[in-house]
C-alpha cells in the first residue's frame, strides 16, 4: 500500500517559492501527517467508488511546464486570473490589482505574517488525502482579499489550464471582509490527455454579513483525472452559494465542504452532473452546522448514460449547539442506460433537538408515458427523450445567477444531450 508521504516525495520535483514561516510550518506538518495516510483504496469508505480510477499516481511527476493560457472565451468583462499547469500567471494577477475595485490578489510568497497566519489557521479543516497532498507539494498559491463593504460589479474568473501530462496542484485562498459581495467563476480547462491529473484546492472565508457566490465547471473528457476540494467557512449572517456543472472524465471528483461557524449563516448548493461513455464523477458534499440559527439548501441532479458512473454522497452534520437549524437536501438521478450506474448516499447526522432537517434521493428512468405524449405532438422518439432529459436539469441551470453563464451551460447540455431547439 503506497503511503502519501512517499507519493509526495516522488512528485515533489518543482522549485518552490519561499513561503512565510506560518505556511512553511503548515506544509512541513502536513508532510509529516502524510506518513500516516495511504493512497485511497476501495476499502477507504469515502473513496470506495472512485479509488480504482486513481491509477498509479507515483508514476506522475509535477507538471510546471510553461504553457499558453486557454484562449476559450468563458465570460465577458470578468477579471481573469490564469493558473497554468499549476503556476500563477503574474500578469493576470497584476491586472486584478490594477483594476482598483477593492480586491487585492497576491502570491503566498508575498503574504504578510498576519495574512500567512490566517491561511495557516484553517489548516485543521484539511482532512482529504489529495487535499493534503496538494498542501505538501504546491509551489506557490494565490491569496485574494475583497475589502470591507466592497460589492464587486465584475466577476472574477479563475481559469485553470492543464495542457500536458503530469500532476498539478493549483491552490487559492479567498477572504471576504465584512459586508463584502463577490462572485467567482472556476473554469477547469484541462486538455483530454493521458497521465494528466489536476488536484486543486480552494478555501474561502466569508466574513460577517458578506456574500460569496462560486460557479464551477470542468471540461468533459475520457482520459484526464481531476480532484477538487472547495471549502467555505461562514461567519455571522454570511451567505454562500455554489453552482456547479460537473462533467465526466476518466476520474473526476469534487469535495465541497461548508462550515457554518457563527449564527445566521446560509448556504445554497446546486449541482448538475452529466456523464456518458465510461466516464466517472464523484460528488462529496459536507455541510457542518456548527452554530445555531443557520440554514442550508442543497439540490443535485445527475444524469448517467452508456457505461458511465456517478457518485453522490451528501452529508449534513448538525452539532449539539446548532439549535434552530434548518437544513434540506435533495438528490434526483436519471439513468439513460441499463449499463449506467448512480450511487447516492444522503446522510443526516444530528446532535441537536430543536432542528428541522430533511433529505431525499430518487433514481429512475424516463417516463414512457411522457415520451409517448410528446411523440403524439409531432416529436420523434429521440427528440422526445432528449427534451425530457434536458428538462430534468434545466431548472438548476437557469438558477445560475450569471445569465451569460447560465445560457452557456444550457447550450453545453443541449449539445451534450444532442438536443436541437
What's the number of CA atoms in the CB half-sphere (13 Å) around residue 419?
19
Q: pLDDT of 293-340, one tens digit each?
A: 999 999 999 999 999 999 999 999 999 999 999 999 999 999 999 999
Helix count (H) and strand count (E) of the chain? 8, 20
pTM for the model stands at: 0.94
Residue 190, pLDDT > 90, answer no
Q: What is the mean pLDDT of residues 195-224?
A: 95
Residue 1, pLDDT > 80, answer no
Q: What is the mean pLDDT of residues 104-109?
A: 96
Q: What is the mean pLDDT of residues 396-421?
A: 87
Burial class (CB in 10 A: 0-12, 13-18, 19+), 328: middle
Q: pLDDT of 259-271, one tens digit each?
A: 999 999 999 999 9
Residue 419 is predicted with a pLDDT of: 45
Residue 421 is predicted with a pLDDT of: 40
Cell digits for 332? 434526483
| pLDDT, averaged across the chain | 91
- Smallest CA-to-CA distance from 81 within 67, 73, 91 is with 91
Q: What is the mean pLDDT of residues 401-419?
A: 89
Q: pLDDT of 24-43, one tens digit each?
A: 999 888 888 888 888 888 88
Amino acid at each position: 500500500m503506497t503511503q502519501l508521504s512517499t507519493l509526495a516525495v516522488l512528485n515533489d520535483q518543482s522549485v518552490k517559492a519561499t513561503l512565510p514561516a506560518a505556511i512553511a510550518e503548515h506544509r512541513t506538518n502536513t508532510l509529516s501527517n502524510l506518513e500516516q495516510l495511504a493512497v485511497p483504496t476501495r476499502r477507504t469508505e469515502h473513496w470506495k467508488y472512485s479509488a480504482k480510477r486513481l491509477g498509479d499516481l507515483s508514476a506522475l511527476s509535477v507538471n510546471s511546464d510553461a504553457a499558453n493560457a486557454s484562449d476559450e472565451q468563458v465570460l465577458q468583462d470578468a477579471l481573469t486570473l490564469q493558473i497554468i499547469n499549476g503556476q500563477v500567471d503574474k500578469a493576470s494577477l497584476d491586472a486584478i490589482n490594477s483594476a482598483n475595485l477593492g480586491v487585492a490578489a497576491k502570491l503566498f510568497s508575498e503574504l504578510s505574517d498576519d495574512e500567512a497566519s490566517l491561511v495557516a489557521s484553517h489548516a485543521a479543516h484539511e482532512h482529504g488525502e489529495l487535499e493534503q497532498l496538494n498542501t505538501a507539494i504546491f509551489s506557490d498559491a494565490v491569496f485574494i482579499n475583497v475589502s470591507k463593504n466592497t460589492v464587486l460589479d465584475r466577476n472574477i474568473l479563475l481559469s485553470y489550464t492543464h495542457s500536458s501530462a503530469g500532476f498539478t496542484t493549483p491552490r487559492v485562498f479567498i477572504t471576504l471582509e465584512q459586508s463584502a459581495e463577490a462572485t467567482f467563476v472556476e473554469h477547469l480547462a484541462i486538455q483530454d490527455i493521458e497521465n494528466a491529473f489536476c488536484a486543486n484546492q480552494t478555501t474561502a472565508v466569508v466574513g460577517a454579513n458578506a456574500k460569496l457566490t462560486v460557479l464551477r465547471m470542468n471540461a468533459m473528457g475520457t482520459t484526464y483525472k481531476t480532484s477538487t476540494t472547495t471549502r467555505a467557512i461562514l461567519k455571522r449572517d454570511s451567505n454562500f452559494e455554489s453552482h456547479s456543472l460537473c462533467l465526466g472524465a476518466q476520474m473526476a471528483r469534487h469535495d465541497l465542504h461548508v462550515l457554518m461557524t457563527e449564527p445566521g449563516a446560509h448556504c445554497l448548493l446546486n449541482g448538475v452532473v452529466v456523464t456518458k461513455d465510461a466516464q466517472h464523477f464523484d460528488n462529496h458534499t459536507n455541510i457542518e452546522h456548527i452554530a445555531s440559527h443557520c440554514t442550508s439548501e442543497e439540490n443535485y441532479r445527475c444524469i448517467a448514460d452508456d457505461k458511465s458512473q456517478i457518485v453522490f454522497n451528501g452529508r449534513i452534520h448538525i452539532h449539539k449547539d446548532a439549535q434552530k437549524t434548518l437544513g434540506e437536501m435533495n438528490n434526483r438521478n436519471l439513468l439513460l442506460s441499463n449499463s449506467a450506474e448512480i450511487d447516492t448516499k444522503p446522510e443526516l447526522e444530528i446532535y441537536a433537538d430543536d432542528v428541522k432537517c430533511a433529505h431525499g434521493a430518487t433514481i429512475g428512468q424516463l417516463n414512457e408515458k411522457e415520451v409517448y405524449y410528446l411523440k403524439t405532438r409531432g416529436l420523434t422518439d429521440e427528440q422526445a427523450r432528449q427534451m425530457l432529459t434536458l428538462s430534468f436539469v434545466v431548472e438548476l441551470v437557469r438558477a445560475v445567477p450569471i445569465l451569460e453563464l447560465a445560457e452557456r451551460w444550457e447550450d453545453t447540455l443541449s449539445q451534450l444531450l444532442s438536443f436541437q431547439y
